[in-house]
Amino acid sequence: MEEPKESESMGRYFSHLQSEVDRCYAIATEARKKGYDPDERVDIPLAKNMAERVEGLLSIAAPDLVGKGVPQRISELEQKYGNLAWEIALIIAAEVAQEKFCKFKDKKEAMEVGIRAGFAYNTLGIVAAPLEGFIELKIKKRQDGKEYVAPRYAGPIRGAGGTAASVSVIIVDYVRTVMGYDKYDPTEKEVKRFITEVRDYHERVTNLQYFPSEEEVEFMVRHLPVEIDGEPTEIIDVSNYKDIPRLDTNKIRGGLCLVLAEGLTQKSPKLWKRLSKFGKDFGLEWDFLEDFLALQKKIKAKSKQSSTSKEKISPNYTYIKDLVAGRPILTYPMRPGGFRLRYGRSRLSGFSTDGMNPLTLAFLDNFVATGTQLKLERPGKACSITPNNNIDGPIVLLDDGSVVRIRRKDQVKECKKRLKKILFLGDICISYGDFSENGHILVPAGYCPEWWALELKKSINEKHGDLEKAALSKDIDLKLLDDLIRSPLTKKMSFKDAVNISEAFDVPLHPDFLFFWKLMDKKELLLLLDGLKNAESISDEGSVSKVIMKNEEIIKKILEKIGLPHIMSSKEFFVIEKDDARSLLLTLGLDELGHDEISHKIESSDSDDIMNILNKLCRLKIMDLAGTFIGARMGRPEKAKMRKLKGDPHALFPVGDEGGRMRSFQSALQKGKVTGDFAVFYCNDCKIETVNSRCEMCGMKTKKLEFCTICNTQDGNCDHPKKTFKNHSIDIRHHFQKALEKSGLKVSPDLVKGVKGTSNEDHIPENLTKGILRAKNGVFVNKDGTTRYDMSELPITHFKPREIGTSLERLKELGYDLDHRGKPITDSDQIIEIKPQDVILPDFKNLLDEPCSDVLVRIARFIDDIMINLYGLDPFYNVKSKDDLIGHLIIGLAPHISAGLIGRIIGFSNTQGFFTHPMFHAGMRRDCDGDEACVIMLMDAFLNFSRKYLPNKRGAKTMDSPLVLTSKLIPSEVDDQVHGLDVSYEYPLELYEAALEYKNPWDVKIDQIKHRLGKPSQYENMGFTHDICDINSGILCSAYKTLPSMKEKLDGQMKLACLIMAVDEADVARSVIEKHFLKDIKGNLRKFSTQKFRCITCNTKYRRPPLLGKCTTCGGKIVFTISEGSIVKYLGHSIELVENYNVSDYLTQTIQLTKRRIEDNFGKDKEKQTGLCNFCDI
């Protein structure tokens, strides 16, 4: 495979990264050779490209395949078919199954490894699904006695995504064809079982993203050439069609349901689009998909109600269905006053991240912060939020009746004190790429300055051809025109200039002087005109400066409805000032005609369309300011914290029951022993057994023992299966003391914590010295021996040195010489394009979680401690402060994947976001819609990661582990969603015009990453449409995280519901009760009667309390596992909601009945005696 093209400077950047990785690898290899770890080599193979990643991933399931030419064969096929072609996955799968690379135990194993190989290629060699999502290939008998194949799937198949899961079935079918197996012949009962199982999974386990109809499932099952099978993932049985001969379980199989519903049926259009081109060439008989799509279309057509409405889109309530208490609904679907759509991409948005004005965030009571997830109505399901100060903020109603447009930070404090209602929330800036990648039609945007500037530019080019000629011929200031076109987001002008320019160049009135006229109707327009007839206008220097109107409620409501700012001068009058007054009169035509003439024009108009009417009244063209309002609610809050296992262990070393509730070595030391499963090693020099791979007494390497449980011998020569561990007690005082001596500490840290027991296959414990040194440095261990810091993923394509706290000198050392315009870097406020594998980590300081910089500094010190004291080598990091971390390498890793990606630290932001290039996120197979990822210090991973520490259970053994490491990001080999990222500095006028006609996004041509693949520009020279002042502006921590109780979170949610015009507070109250509180109360009440009991001392659990009345293991006290408090915790909140908000009688009575059921179980609350002061206002 040819190396992708890159510029000379980008080539130097990648060479630097590779050389630094190689240096770290060499040092870590030297350390691992000392023998203190399960393997004497670094346990993370390096991969230069996707082909090598595939081989690295397959090495876990088929180590014999390594070094047999698979990457080279993939490269050959990519030359023929192109990168990521499905044909390559099919061919690789077939050739591995045919044992062209190496021999396997039998035909079945060869086919399984072949399927995994093809599946791994299709998923970029990153996710664990080929290893643990696809778990087995079963060979079954047809009804005529011939054999067919049935791939078995498990829960981790979800990580592959619906399309890739579907492709795995196609791979299985191709391997079946090549290897000569027959097609699947489903029986009637089997077909019914599939239908039942998918329905049960959706209704009784969890909602499927796509729930296919019975007809869809039946058609798919009858025509698939292989049987979709799966292991039981749930404890509940299917509701019907049990004990079917060819099916070996009655339990619900989650993997099967995911592949069938979210894969084959949902992604069938995409499958047929690709298979129709090459399927027959490969002998694939999947033509039935064409008939399936016709059936699907017919079913969907039936479900859609016939409508004569001209609307192209309708409100979508999906995002509200899974409402959670405490997380506010910010706007209902398409509700006026909600978030107004603004097309654009800032340097912090795109790739499922949207922009919002920090002024808007301030009025949302700090619930939405940088990195907070919002569930959206469109274009996708969710997004993260970043600040964008160059879009419109909110319009608010104050307690005295004044309406204020919030444009400056200094307005916020005073207006929040007097806030009565948020009439308009302001803009949400969504990129073209997000519409393109979600396949959502373009919808009209509200008229905005950048749209106006495009129309002005077009008019000048068409009528004058040159800006200077246009300015001269129309006697308009040249610099003003130039600034308005070049900087439409920041350049402001007077109302007089706006009118002159509109008249001179025949362009609409500038949006700064428009109101939300479209939201009113014809009747309201006439009422407003009547109100203006009796109003008093005050002029200043020949121009209207004020319009004073009588405070009539109906007129006041109309002005609030269209967002027209005005000030209450008294209870009787309100005043519309300056440009707002002039714009109002101009738009209604009152600057030229009288009220009666205008009224006659309105009444005689055939049209009820307000914009049509206004454009007949006004001498200038008036555009719609509203556009499309987009519904949203708060999803997950942002996150930045060190990951900790249950119990916060410092070492993967067992403390057993002797560690007590804290699982501490201090508790175990008091008892003098630890009992558990341990791998056993033998020192030939000291003639002793130990749990360490290097003897703690003499320092020599030890031999790992094996045990035969049948012969009751160790290291015997029998043919029975051997165990590599045994359950026994060890002298923990001896081991701890030796580890303490090795650590170089004279006194142990106050608290050193371990795990209750190891969960890896061989029960190999981590070297205890590492745990003591972690405790000294205040860091905690993860399941694989590393320490991780989790963060919310956010994109960034450009940064300012000032924002990330890194000096210009240091940035130049890292290869940053020029800003994004190609000028030398001399100022910390210059905008610089980020390199594709550089990362900006969170440094937000609060009382909840430690900033990333503090944690990484402590990890670095821990690494230096083990380098010196355990491995006997020189320290590596020598870090004194966070500034010393700049330039060091990390591994980026996301949940569900098995391949890490090298990154380089270049600075820290004051947010809780993991800022890096969108392609870096895509390299971890994630987008930025609220996902989170982690970083691991590179030397931490190289020194401490071991596959032999990973838990021996489905999913945990490969998912979320750096089983292979990619050192170079190749754009064509990352998740292709990022290829849709738009990288233009300006959107074309055609985009806004196409949106007015609800066209598809691909009908408009805008520069995207996919147009640059294979060129030097795939890595650099990317643009953005909206600049922002500072990535650290806005709200930095969501109130959801800082409010301590559910009561306060709920109060905040309901307060916003009452404040925001686009939200129905009574419906929010109903939704919170129905979708959260009632489910929780009833569920816990049901579980209470079937609960277990536990000992508070040793945590032993019992199905029933022992007759002895205390723990039979340790004599401790026995308590409930489900308490009364967990059942009633939301009851009071529910009662309060039904009392304070206008919910239905049915819901009110449901709450009352639920309360009565609880009282039947636990009795009524005792009456509390209160003092007189409770009834007095003191």
Identify the bridge partners of residue 448 per DSSP, sorted by sequence position. none
- pLDDT, tens digit, for every residue of 659-689? 888 899 999 999 999 999 999 899 988 989 8
Q: Rounded to an integer, what distance in angstroms lies between the CA atom of residue 1022 and that of residue 681?
A: 57
- pLDDT, tens digit, for every residue of 1123-1133? 888 888 888 89
- Output the pTM of the full model: 0.91
Same domain, 894 and 1014: yes
- In a domain, residue 2? The reply is no
The SS3 of residue 587 is: helix
Identify the bridge partners of residue 932 per DSSP, sorted by sequence position. 792
Same domain, 209 and 240: yes
Of how many residues is the chain composed? Answer: 1178
Structural domain including 855 reads 789-988+1000-1018
Given this model, what pLDDT does residue 937 score?
Answer: 97
**List of E strands, 922-1064:** 932-937, 964-966
Same domain, 1105 and 978: no
Instruction: Kindly state the tokens that stand for 186.
Output: 């489903």
Q: Give the pLDDT band of residue 1096 (cuts 50, 70, 90).
A: confident
Cα dihedral angle (11, 12, 17, 21), rounded to 10 degrees? 100
Strands 1101-1102 and 395-398: unpaired
Same domain, 884 and 913: yes
Identify the bridge partners of residue 251 per DSSP, sorted by sequence position. 237
Residue 134: CA count within 13 A, CB half-sphere: 31
Instruction: Please name the residues in contact with 1068: beta carbons below 8 A apart, sequence gap of 6 or more.
Output: 323, 328, 329, 1053, 1054, 1057, 1141
Q: Are 980 and 436 in contact (CB under 8 A)?
A: yes
- In a domain, residue 32? The reply is no
Instruction: Kindly state the tokens that stand for 149.
Output: 């194949």
- pLDDT, tens digit, for every residue of 618-654? 999 999 999 999 999 999 999 999 999 999 999 999 9
Q: Rounded to an integer, what distance in angstroms lies between the CA atom of residue 1045 and that of residue 1068?
A: 19
Residue whose token pair is 């007494």:
697
- In a domain, residue 24? The reply is no
Same domain, 491 and 527: no
- In a domain, residue 238? The reply is yes
Q: Are 459 and 495 in contact (CB under 8 A)?
A: no
Given this model, what pLDDT does residue 644 score?
Answer: 93
- In a domain, residue 1097? The reply is yes
Given this model, what pLDDT does residue 707 score?
Answer: 81
Given this model, what pLDDT does residue 1167 score?
Answer: 59
Same domain, 850 and 922: yes
Query: What mean pLDDT is reported for the chain?
Result: 91
% of the chain with per-residue pLDDT over 70: 97
Q: Which of 506, 535, 552 is the last residue of a domain?
A: 506
Instruction: Kindly state the tokens that stand for 604.
Output: 């005689």
**1046-1052 — which CB contacts under 8 Å span 24+ positions?**
1046/325, 1046/326, 1046/1129, 1046/1130, 1046/1133, 1047/1133, 1049/325, 1049/326, 1049/327, 1050/325, 1050/326, 1050/1133, 1052/326, 1052/328, 1052/365, 1052/367
Q: Rounded to an integer, what distance in angstroms lies between the CA atom of residue 577 and that of residue 294?
A: 60
Number of Cβ within 10 Å of residue 1098's Cβ equals 15
Same domain, 935 and 975: yes
Question: Domain total for the chain?
Answer: 8
Q: Which of 126, 146, 166 is the last residue of a domain?
A: 126
- pLDDT, tens digit, for every residue of 185-236? 999 999 999 999 999 999 888 888 889 999 999 999 999 999 999 999 988 8
- In a domain, residue 13? The reply is no
Residue 424: CA count within 13 A, CB half-sphere: 32
Given this model, what pLDDT does residue 780 score?
Answer: 96
- pLDDT, tens digit, for every residue of 717-728? 777 777 888 888
C-alpha distances out from residue 130 to 127, 168, 718, 937, Å: 7, 9, 35, 27
- pLDDT, tens digit, for every residue of 1-17? 445 578 999 999 999 99
CATH code, domain carrying 481: 1.10.260
Mean pLDDT to the nearest integer, 932-948: 95
Same domain, 433 and 460: no
Residue whose token pair is 């749930």:
234
Tell me the chain's radius of gyration from C-alpha atoms: 33
Residue whose token pair is 């000294």:
776
Q: Which of 272, 302, 332 is the last residue of a domain?
A: 302
Q: Are 110 and 97 in contact (CB under 8 A)?
A: yes
- pLDDT, tens digit, for every residue of 727-758? 889 999 999 999 999 999 999 999 999 999 99
Q: What interhelical angle do 449-463 and 478-486 show, nearest 10?
A: 130
Q: Rounded to an integer, what distance in angstroms lies between the CA atom of residue 887 and that of residue 907?
A: 9
Given this model, what pLDDT does residue 570 score?
Answer: 82
- pLDDT, tens digit, for every residue of 319-340? 898 888 999 999 999 999 999 9
- In a domain, residue 3? The reply is no
Q: Are 801 and 886 in contact (CB under 8 A)?
A: no
pLDDT surpasses 60 at 161: yes
Number of Cβ within 10 Å of residue 1125's Cβ equals 9
- In a domain, residue 832? The reply is yes
Q: Rounded to an integer, what distance in angstroms lies between the CA atom of residue 112 and that of residue 123?
A: 16
- pLDDT, tens digit, for every residue of 875-900? 999 999 999 999 999 999 998 888 99
Q: Rounded to an integer, what distance in angstroms lies between the CA atom of residue 1150 and that of residue 63?
A: 60
Q: Rounded to an integer, what distance in angstroms lies between the CA atom of residue 854 and that of residue 778?
A: 10
Q: Give the pLDDT band of residue 907 (cuts 50, 70, 90).
A: very high
* Three-class secondary structure assignment of 513-538: HCCCHHHCCHHHHHHHHHHHHCCEEE
pLDDT surpasses 90 at 1065: yes
Same domain, 294 and 148: yes
Given this model, what pLDDT does residue 1057 score?
Answer: 95
Same domain, 878 and 952: yes
Residue 485: CA count within 13 A, CB half-sphere: 21
pLDDT surpasses 50 at 1178: no
Same domain, 1105 and 1157: yes
- pLDDT, tens digit, for every residue of 380-403? 889 999 999 999 999 999 999 999
Q: Rounded to an integer, what distance in angstroms lies between the CA atom of residue 88 and that of residue 69?
A: 15
Q: Are 313 and 444 in contact (CB under 8 A)?
A: no
Given this model, what pLDDT does residue 203 score?
Answer: 87
1004-1019 as b/e: b if 16+ CB within 10 A: bebbbbbebbeebbbb
Residue whose token pair is 């990484």:
856
The SS3 of residue 894 is: coil
Same domain, 147 and 291: yes
Given this model, what pLDDT does residue 308 score?
Answer: 37
For the chain, the maximum distance between any two Cα atoms, rounded to a whole number of angstroms, is 111
- Do you find a cis peptide bond into 379, omega within 30 degrees of 0? yes
Q: Rounded to an integer, what distance in angstroms lies between the CA atom of residue 120 and that of residue 65?
A: 14
Q: Which of 359, 404, 414, 338 is nearest to 560 (CA)?
A: 404
**9-14 — which CB contacts under 8 Å span 24+ positions?**
9/815, 9/817, 10/835, 10/1016, 10/1019, 10/1020, 12/815, 13/815, 13/835, 14/968
Strand order in 339-343's β-sheet?
Answer: 329-331, 632-634, 373-376, 382-387, 353-356, 426-430, 339-343, 629-630
Given this model, what pLDDT does residue 852 score?
Answer: 95
Mean pLDDT to the nearest integer, 581-598: 89
Task: Identify the sign of the CA torsion 1000, 1006, 1008, 1010.
Answer: positive
